[in-house]
Structure 1
Amino acid sequence: MRSTIVSSALLLAVTAGALQVTEPKKNVEIDPSSSFTVKWDSVSTDPSSFDLYLVNNAVYPPVDKKIATDVDTSDGSYTVDSISGLADGPGYQINLFSNEEHNTGILAQSQQFNVTGSDDSSSSSSSATPTTTSTSTSSTSTTTASSAGSSSAAASTTSGAADANASDVFDDENGAGAMSAPLVVAAGAIGGALLFSL
């Protein structure tokens, strides 16, 4: 009974004295395209250095990316400049991984956090933009072509009207000439009669 209590107390002491990741906190949102900070607590008995890994076992393929090597344990924090190639979503964690030959494995692990605003999402949004622009340009070209067609039709109508007016004028002139012919004949007959009487 006493040995069980002592063993439990020793296990609790070892757990309390081990490395603990304090940041990123649970469910916090992190943009990996910009810098973020990893923080931890340690004691003198912890390894002097470790490697930093970003992991996510909730996605496929799983993420297991080394982001720093030989980080000094006594520093208490490390600033990650940026990480590319990540998909937005939950389930990401930071692992403090031992780099000692005789003591391998995970020394500490952060709580799960969310990745948002990654460069992959930005690229997808940008690639969709030219399609919309192309459609608008096509619509504009179609509208311009329609306007040009309407202008051509209007020009044809105007030209037809002008030809019709010219034809009417020509017909009027011919009509006047036809009416003047009998008058000339009548004048000639009267002149002949006068000469005969003389």
Structure 2
Amino acid sequence: MKFMIATVAAFAATAAALKLTAPEENAKWDLSQTNTIKWDHVDSDPETFQLVLVNHQTGGEVDMTIADKVKTSDGEYKLTNFVATPGSTYSIKAFGTEKTNSGQLAESQTFSVTKSGVSTTTTATTVKPTSSGTPATSSSATPSQTSNAATALGVTFGVAGPLAAVFAMLF
């Protein structure tokens, strides 16, 4: 009798494992805004997992990693400004990444992406004078607010923009 109760309890725990509850069926997500992925979980689920956006388009699936090592105990993940082609055949999948709990854990209902986000980083070059008077440059990845300004400067002035900045510092 104890064996049967333990088996039923184990089965119930497995049946109630990680379940993606949002997005809901036929939801419409604007990926340029913040959207919330939600899930229910049990103690037997892994501590962390991977979230993947899947487009079930005609001709095959396209998988895009949203985040690695998402904490299961958080119960939700805020997806902000994600780049994906608008369409109506999307779902989100959760994958275990631990040796003892790997593979697909859960999949959301199918939903639509109505608008894509924009690329959030670019490489910006900074020109700084050195003690010898010759300019030194450094590159770094910058957030979209800075990269949009840097991109606008580059588009507006092309190569002349950075050269004008160097000459302005020299004179």
When the two structures are superposed, what TM-score results if normalisation uses the length of structure 1? 0.52
**Alpha-carbon separation, structure 1, partners of 2:53 and 2:97:** 15
The C-alpha deviation readout for 1:105-145, integer Å capped at 9, x for no partner, is: 1111100001102258xxxxxxxxxxxxxxxxxxxxxxxxx
Ranges in structure 2 where 5+ consecutive residues have no aligned partner: 119-171
Moved over 3 A (4+): 8-12
Aligned amino acid, residue 103 of structure 2:
G
Shift of 1:70: 0.4
Give the secondary-structure state (helix, strand or coil) at the position aligned to 1:91.
Answer: strand
1:144 corresponds to which residue?
none
Larger helix proportion, structure 1 or 2?
1
Equivalent of 1:108 in 106, 124, 142: 106
Q: Which amino acid aligns with 2:30?
A: D
CA deviation string 1:41-89 (max 9, x = no partner): 01111111101100122344632011111011000000011211x2221
Q: Which residue of 2 aligns with 1:52?
A: 51
Counterpart AA for 2:91: Q
- Mean Cα displacement is larger for which, 73-82 or 60-69? 60-69
SS state at 1:46 partner: coil
Query: Which structure has the highest strand share of the two?
Result: 2
Residues in 2 aligned to 1:69 and 1:63: alpha-carbon distance in whole angstroms: 17
- For 1:77, the aligned partner's letter is E
Equivalence for 1:78: 77
Partner of 2:140: none
- Shift in Å at residue 15 of structure 1? 4.4
Matches within 5 A, 1:1-198: 13-60=12-59, 62-84=61-83, 86-118=84-116
The residue type equivalent to 2:51 in the other structure is: L
Cα displacement (A) at 1:33: 1.7
Q: CA 1:15–1:111 in 2, change beyond 3 Å: closer, same or farther?
A: farther
The separation in 1 between residues aligned to 2:60 and 2:16, in whole angstroms, is 34
CA distance in 2, matches of 1:60, 1:75: 35
RMSD across aligned C-alpha pairs, in angstroms?
2.6
Judged with a 3 Å threshold, the aligned counterparts in structure 2 of structure 1 residues 91 and 11 are, in CA distance, closer, same or farther, namely farther
Aligned residues: 116
Distance of 1:88 and 1:43 partners within structure 2: 33
Alignment-mate amino acid for residue 96 of structure 2: S
Question: Residues of 1 paired with 2:91 and 2:48: CA distance?
Answer: 19
CA contact (8 A) 2:92 2:108 kept: yes
Secondary structure at the aligned position of 2:115 is classed as: coil
CA distance in 1, matches of 2:100, 2:42: 19
TM-score after normalising by structure 2: 0.59
Letter in 2 for 1:18: A
Give the percent of matched residue pairs that are identical in Structure 1 and Structure 2.
41
Gap regions ≥5 residues in structure 1: 121-198
